[in-house]
Amino acid sequence: MTTADLGDCEWLVRDLQTSNLVERGQLDQLVTEFLRQTPRGEPAQLVDFLVSQRVLTKFQADSLLQGKKDILVLGPYCITDMIGFGSMGTVYKGQSKVDKQWYAVKVLPNRGVLKLRNAKQIARDFKQVKHPSVVPFADAGAGGSNNYLAWPFVEGGVTLEKIIEQRGRVSPGLAAYYATQIAEGLAMCHEKELVHGLLKPTNLMLKSDHTILILDMGLGTLLGQEESVIHTGGLANLAASADCSAPETAIDPTAGGPLGDQYSLGCILYYCLTGQYPFEGDNYVSKMMAHQTKQAPPVKAKAPDAPDGLIEVLQRMMAKKPADRYESLFHVVAAIRPFAKVDTAPAFSPRAAAAPAPPKPEAPAPKPPPKAALARPEPTPVRPPPPGRELLQPQPELKPPWMKPGAEPGTAPEQQPQPTATPAGVSWQMIVLGLLLVVVGALVGGLVMMLLK
DSSP 240-279: G--TT--GGGTT-TT--HHHHHHHHHHHHHHHHHHSS-SS
Measured between alpha carbons, how far apart are the two ends of the chain, in Å? 108
Quick count: other Cβ atoms within 10 Å of Cβ 201? Answer: 20
Query: DSSP assignment of 45-114, as one string?
Result: HHHHHHHHTTSS-HHHHHHHHTT-GGGSEETTEEEEEEEEEETTEEEEEEEETTT--EEEEEEPSS----
Run of H or E residues at 144: none
74-339: CATH homologous superfamily? Transferase(Phosphotransferase) domain 1 (1.10.510.10)
Run of H or E residues at 212: strand 212-214
Q: How far apart are CA 322 and CA 336, in angstroms?
A: 19
Position 404 pLDDT exceeds 90: no
For residue 120, the model assigns a pLDDT of 82
Q: How far is CA 125 from CA 217, 226, 388, 417, in A?
A: 12, 19, 85, 116
The partner residues of 90 in beta bridges, in order of sequence, read 85, 107
Q: If you average pLDDT over every residue of the chain, what do you get?
A: 77
Domain boundaries, the chain: 3-71, 74-339
Q: How far is CA 64 from CA 13, 67, 81, in A?
A: 10, 5, 13
Q: How far apart are CA 368 and CA 383, in angstroms?
A: 31
Position 350 pLDDT exceeds 90: no
Run of H or E residues at 206: strand 204-206
Structure confidence at residue 82 as a pLDDT band (50, 70, 90): very high
Mean per-residue pLDDT, 195-210: 90
Q: Quick check: 340 and 176 in contact, CB under 8 A? A: yes
295 versus 417: which is more confidently predicted?
295
Cβ burial of 74 (10 Å; 0-12, 13-18, 19+) is buried
Nearest to 340 by CA among 382, 370, 309: 309
Q: Quick check: 91 and 82 in contact, CB under 8 A? A: yes
Mean per-residue pLDDT, 170-182: 95
* Amino acid, res. 246: A
Query: DSSP assignment of 125-164, as one string?
Result: HHTT---TTB----EEEEETTEEEEEEE---S-EEHHHHH
Q: Quick check: 104 and 150 in contact, CB under 8 A? A: yes
286 versus 442: which is more confidently predicted?
286
Phi, psi at 238, each rounded to 5°: -65, -20
For residue 49, the model assigns a pLDDT of 94
Q: How far apart are CA 296 and CA 309, in angstroms?
A: 17
For residue 428, the model assigns a pLDDT of 58
433 versus 67: which is more confidently predicted?
67
Segment 377-396, tens digit of pLDDT = 344 444 444 444 333 344 44
13 versus 4: which is more confidently predicted?
13
Run of H or E residues at 282: none
Whole-model pTM: value is 0.69
Segment 233-255, tens digit of pLDDT = 444 444 446 888 889 887 776 67
Q: Quick check: 72 and 21 in contact, CB under 8 A? A: yes
Q: What's the angle, vertex CA 412, arms to CA 408 and CA 415, rounded to 5?
A: 125
For residue 445, the model assigns a pLDDT of 64
For residue 215, the model assigns a pLDDT of 92
Position 169 pLDDT exceeds 90: yes
